[in-house]
Every structure is written in structure tokens, then in C-alpha cells.
Amino acid sequence: MSRSTLPFPYSIKRHGVSLSNCDDEPVQTPGCIQAHGLLLALSLDDLIVRQASENWPQRTGLAMSQVLDQPLAAVVGPDAAQCIVHAMRTEVLERNALYVLTAPLPHAPCRDIAMDFSVHQADGVLIVEIEPASQPGDTVVTDSDYYSMVKTTLVRLKSASSLSAFCDIAANEVRRTTGLDRVMIYRFHRDETGEVIADAHRSDLNSWLGLRYPASDIPVPARAIFKRIGVRPLPDVDGALMEIAPLLNPVTGRPLDMTYCALRGASVMYTDYLRNMGVAATLTMPILRDGRLWGLIACHHYAPIVLPYTLRAAAEFLGQVTSLEIASAEGREHLEYRLKLEAAHQAVLGQALADGNYAALTHGAPSLLDGIDAGGVAVSENGQWSMAGATPDAQQLTALAAWLTLHSARLADGGTVIALDDLGRAYPEGGDALGCCSGLLAFPISQRSQGDWVIWFRPEQLQTYRWGGNPYEAGKATAEHGTRLTPRQSFAVWQEEVRGRAEPWKPVEIEAAKNLRLLMLDVVVARAEQLAALNTDLVRSNDELDAFAYVAGHDLKEPLRGIHKYAHFLLEETKAGRPLDAQGRERIDAMLRLTVRMDSLLDALLHFSRVGRLSLARQPIALGDVVAEATDMLGASLLGRDIDVQIPRPLPTISCDRIRVREVFANLISNAAKYNDKPQRHIEIGYLDPVDGADVVSTFYVRDNGIGIDTKHSERVFMMFKRLHTRDAYGGGSGAGLAIVKKLVEQHNGHSWFTSELGVGTTFYFTLIGAGMKQPGA
């Protein structure tokens, strides 16, 4: 039956199972526990028993009415209840089963039998599990054994030079600790099939090393549980089951979530599976890597066995140590290969960056084929493919890239790199064109250019799988509740020749692809920054061209029209034979003034154009000396104007271009002196204190008490040849000074602005961004 047709509430014991798909079995809510233990489910707020396993009367003599709806202390005794309450207050119990105490049950017929109590919280319920404690003769790991066990195990695991050796050690350590008949390391492949890669077993048992098992042997619900728990015990495959009463929790209205219960009733398919293998008891620990289920430590025993809490805790700890060290073990195995890959990718990418395109990735020396072991590689850049080795053609690659882009989230499984060793099965629309390429390792170069990919290909490699039984055997059995799926009956070695697959990609190769993508993203970002800088320069150049066109079309034509007009008048006078009179001489003087103005405009324009082309020559400069040079240069124009130049405190030494900063000060001081109608003219030159306690100075100013500027002209004043007054007012000028200031400041990565009050004065500010700009004495 499918999940939608399961009885609700559901119990394995009462309802059995008639499944057509293992993934439908409700393994998290089986509705029963293994009969060797007891279970209570309590509401958190009042610790009243809301559910209990049906074997309480059998084990303690208490009727179910004396257990259900009773306080915790009335059922387990005040001492045990106090310990559980203390654990609730001091420990993290949410989805985390913890041992609390060992004590006899107060109502049990045999009160000298010690019981282990463990508790956890799940789905808003407190769950108490009670199991027989260790008995004389049981395999037990005491607290005093933990230190030596952990130390010895870690030393042995870290000594392994390969993954195979690491897994052999882990299997043997777990078997030594637990005393179970067989301990296997079972690894999941990318297609979810599993393979035994280590097998520590009793000397009289056959080795299962190298046997593979289909993905259906460990269904999806079981895999999901193994990602959450640390250990799964099943001490007796044929053990009885005890139902939870009632099946629905009265408080939550839901079946009891038993994901984290050690006593959770085992899946029917799983117990059938183990019986067919001849296994009587199991202990299983997950191996996680980067949050994913990498594999399992699967322990088998061929007779029922007691698996007390202490033994399970030791096994769980060994499983966690194995999970923590598995990545290091894989890294040690492929260290030399990883170093080779990193060196090759660095060299290849450096060449591609130098060439300015990705063609070097496939056609350079070295190329990407000198890194990852592959038969071919293809790289697209702006839709253009570069290939090396055995690859599909460009048209087929474009179709493949579109398919990868469409399905990348699913294929990459939450990551960025896609690794397939059965491309033909995953991408059947590729057809015969991909016959030479059964393996694929790929990543998108960036999210912006969705069609651009780096793809390695591997050829088909004929393989022989040794299965633990025929994986295609699908048994059916008629049960009390209808026909249901059963596991295969035989686990004898069954060989299969597999075509259409390539050698699987190693984790080190997938990691190298991830790292290469990050390096390529750095290149993409660097290119984007270069392009942005070029675009900024282009915009600035276009603005300057616009200004030049305006000047050429307007400002320069103005004096030309005047010269043409006066020259025409003089020509007419000459033709008429009239001698040059006073008006004629005025016209000649006007022509001279216009030629001087035009010469000044051309000089300013040429100077402005040179400012943008010359590079800076930065060096530490004392600004006090620069300002002195600027005022000396302006000496003639300042003379006789009764100007008081003040520098309230010594100016700092900064890193800048001396000539250009001197020109900035000269233009600002000249304007401050020129646009001033006061009898006493004052100019102040200084800098602003750094903000936030920094010792770096970057903002400077020139302040005057002149005529002021209307703030509506805040942009216009910095434009080329844009004067706010008539041509000859305030001594005339070309109107280029502030435009040149703005450009020189921008060359120092700074910006310029002003504050002003009409009739009171103006302060021009500018920043100079660079290294080593310190306050005097800092």
C-alpha cells in the first residue's frame, strides 16, 4: 500500500504491511517498539504519561490504566523522575537521546534488575526509553575504557595513508570494541548504490569485500533517518513488537515520532532482508561527510545479542570519529594528485588571464587536460567553444550546456559542480553523439553568463559489478493484509557487465573543479572591474569630447565672428578709399583683444586635454611648501589687492603629485582673490580633522570672504568655460580653472565641492585619496 492508503493511525504489529515500494514504509512512526524495552511519551508541561508501550503490565504488573494519564513519578518512581526533570533543565534533549540513570523499576516483580533510562524530546513530546542494563558477561565499555579506546583508535586512523587502509582500521576497531561477528564499511556511490569497501569478520565467515548492493536495499526514509541519528540497534531480528497505546498522541493528535528512539520497531522489509541474509542482530552507525550520508558502519551478528547503552555509546562515538576523519583520509590518499591539479589549474588560469581569453584553458601548455584525468575538455566563452581531446562538436556542446543549465540545481545536488559517470542515461536526448563521453564533470563559469561552462569528459569504461545477490530480483508475498514487496531470497554473488559508464569522479577531482571555478570567478570579477574602469574612462572622454565640441562650436566661434565682422568693416572702409579713423582703430583694438581671448581659450583647452592624459607622479610632499609655491606663482596677480592669506595650522605631508596639487591650490587661491569685492580680502587655507579617530588627512579647503556663489550653480561652476559673470567682469578669464581643479582632484581619486553664502564668502573643499596622508606629528 502507498502512504496515502496506510491506516491512520498505523502500527506495524497491528496492520502489518503490504507495500509496493520500500520508500512508502513509515519507518519514523511504526507505532511499536522492540519488546525487550519499555517506552513512555509525556506532555512537556506537566509530565503526564500520554502514551506507553503495551508491555508495561507484563514487565511491571501495572495495568495500563495505572500508567496512562499518570504523573511520571508514579510510574518510574520519584528518584528516577527527579533525575529526568534535572536532565530536562540542564541538557539539550531536543532530538538528542541522552542516558539519565540506571535504576530498578519500582513496580517490577524482580526489583533487583537494573534498567537504563534515556530521554529525549521530539515533536513536542518527552520520550522516556527504559532497557535492561548490562548483565555479567555482556560486552561492555566502561567509562574508564573510553580514554584508551579513543586514543588508540585515533592514532590508528590517523596513521592510514589511504582510504582503504582507513576503512579497514575503522572496521577492525569497531569489531574489537563491540565483539560482533562482522563489521563492514559500506560506501554509497553517486547513484545511491552501495559497496562494501572494508570487512572485518569472524575467521570462519566469507568476506563480502567488494560486493555491491542496489539503492533500494536502503530506502529513502531509512537514509533520511541515518542522517539524523548516531546509532541504530536491533538486538534480535525475530524479537517481538510491542504497540504504543494509544497510537495517536492525545496532545499532538499525531503518531509518535520515533526517529531518535533506540527501541523503535524495525521496518518489516529490513527484518525480512536480514533473515534472508541469515543475520540475527545488527548495530548500524552512519558515516557523514559535509552533512551528506557518505556510508554506513554496518555490524552483523549471527545470534541475538544484548546491546546495552554503554556498548552503543562506544560504537556511536567510533562512528562519529570515523565521520570526522573520513575527509582527511580521502585527502591523504590523493594528496599528490590534488597538488598536481592545483598547480596545473593555477598555471592554466594564469595563461588565460595573460591572453585575455579562455582559449588557453584548452589549447595552452599546460591545458586543463594536464590537470584532471579526462579524455576531453570543452570551455565556452560568450557562446564560443574551445575544445581539446575527445568531445562532442560545438552544436552538441551548446545543446548539452542548455540542458545542464536547465537541470543544474538537481544535478549538482545543491552545489555548483555536476559529476556524472552515466551521462548517456542522465541525458538520453544526447543520443549517439555522446557515445565517446560517458562521464561528465562540469561547472558554470558564472551565474551571469549562463551558457558558459567548463566541461570535462571521460570515455566509457567497461565494468564488472559483483552484486550481493541479484539486484533485479523483486519478490512478492501474500500477507495477511494483501500482496507485499519482499527482499530477495539469495545474497550469493551475482556478476553483471555494465556498459555506458565511465570511471567515477574522485572527490579530489570534484573539489579541484570547485576551486577552479572560484579562481575563474576571480578572473570574471577582475575583468568586470577592468571593463567598468574602461567604461568610466570612456564616459569621461565622451563628456570631454562634448565639452570640446561645445567650445569649438560656440566659445571659439564667438571671437572668430568678431574678428570676421571687424575685418569686414575695415575692408569696406579700405575699398571706399577712406582713411583709418578713430572708429577703425577701435575695431583693430577689438580684433587684437579677440585674438588674445581666442589664444587664451585655446591654451586652456589644450591644458585641460593634457591634464587627463598625464599620469601622476606620487611622492611624499609637504603641502605647506606647495601652497607657498602656488602663492609665489600668483604673486603678480595678487599684488596690490591687499589680500591676507592665512594658514591657521601647519599643513600635513601627503602622498601626491606635487605639480598638479600646486595647480589646484593656485586656481582656488586665484579665484578667491579675483571674486572678492571687500576692502579687506581674506583667504584661509587648511584641512579638516579626520573622522572616527583616524590619523589620515584627506580633506582640504580654501576659504574666502568674497562675493559668494548661488548654490544652484553647484555643478555649473566645475564645467569647462562656464563663467557665472560677463566676459570681462572680475578681470575676465577663460572659465577653465575650476574644471581643471575638478579633473586634477579626480586623478587623485578624490572629489571637489563648495559651500557658499552670497555676499559672505565661499569655501572650496577637495579630497586627495592616497597612501601616507598623516597629520603633522601623527
Chain-centroid distance, C-alpha 409:
15
| Band of pLDDT at residue 530, cut at 50, 70 and 90 | low
CATH classification (class only), 336-458+502-529: alpha beta
Check the CA dihedral 308-314-320-326 and report its sign. Answer: negative
- Shared fold status for 3-11+26-132 and 615-778: no
Distance CA 683, CA 524 (A): 50
Check the CA dihedral 530-531-536-542 and report its sign. Answer: positive
Distance CA 119, CA 81 (A): 11
Q: Output the DSSP codes for 168-184.
A: HHHHHHHHHHH--SEEE
Query: Given a cut of 60, is residue 455 above it in pLDDT?
Result: yes
In this structure, the dihedral spanned by the alpha carbons of residues 152, 156, 158 and 160, taken in order and rounded to 10 degrees, is: 180
CATH classification (class only), 139-237+279-333: alpha beta
Provide the pairing of β-strand 643-646 with 681-687.
parallel
Query: Given a cut of 60, is residue 494 above it in pLDDT?
Result: yes
Distance CA 543, CA 563 (A): 29
Report pLDDT for 20. 54
Check the CA dihedral 605-611-612-614 and report its sign. Answer: positive
Report pLDDT for 538. 64
Question: CB–CB of 286/225 below 8 Å?
Answer: no
Which pLDDT tens digit goes with each residue over 351-390?
766 666 666 677 777 778 877 888 888 888 877 888 888 8
Chain-centroid distance, C-alpha 145:
41
- The residue ranking higher by pLDDT, 717 or 480, is 717
Which pLDDT tens digit goes with each residue over 180-233?
999 999 999 888 889 999 999 999 999 999 888 888 888 888 899 999 999 999
Report pLDDT for 188. 92
Q: Which of 34, 404, 387, 414 lies closest to 237, judged by CA?
A: 34
What percent of the chain is predicted at pLDDT more than 90? 29
What percent of the chain is predicted at pLDDT more than 70? 72
Grid coordinates of 511? 573539489
| Band of pLDDT at residue 423, cut at 50, 70 and 90 | confident
Residue 657 φ/ψ, nearest 5 degrees = -90, 115
Grid coordinates of 688? 579638516
Chain-centroid distance, C-alpha 414:
11
Domain 3-11+26-132 sits in CATH at: 3.30.450.20
| Band of pLDDT at residue 79, cut at 50, 70 and 90 | very high
Poorest-pLDDT segment among 388-392, 460-464, 747-751, 772-776 = 772-776
Which pLDDT tens digit goes with each residue over 426-443?
888 877 656 668 889 998
Report pLDDT for 75. 95
Distance CA 91, CA 80 (A): 16
- The residue behind cell 581674506 is 682
What are the residue boundaries of the structural domains of the chain, listed by start? 3-11+26-132, 139-237+279-333, 336-458+502-529, 615-778
Burial degree of 577 (CB within 10 A; 0-12, 13-18, 19+): exposed
Poorest-pLDDT segment among 304-308, 360-364, 599-603 = 599-603
Question: CB–CB of 261/128 below 8 Å?
Answer: no
Distance CA 401, CA 383 (A): 10
- The residue ranking higher by pLDDT, 668 or 135, is 668
Can you tell me whether residue 77 is helix, strand or coil?
Answer: coil
Distance CA 446, CA 416 (A): 10
CATH classification (class only), 615-778: alpha beta
Which pLDDT tens digit goes with each residue over 237-284?
999 999 999 999 999 999 999 999 999 999 888 888 899 889 999 999
Query: Given a cut of 50, is residue 553 above it in pLDDT?
Result: no
Question: Which residue type sits at 461?
Answer: Q
Report pLDDT for 66. 95
Q: Output the DSSP codes for 492-558.
A: SEEEEEE-S--PPPPHHHHHHHHHHHHHHHHHHHHHHHHHHHHHHHHHHHHHHHHHHHHIIIIITHH
Mean pLDDT to the nearest integer, 126-138: 81
Distance CA 462, CA 776 (A): 77
DSSP-assigned beta bridge partners for residue 388? 377
Poorest-pLDDT segment among 15-19, 34-38, 61-65, 357-361 = 15-19
Distance CA 352, CA 459 (A): 27
Distance CA 531, CA 55 (A): 76
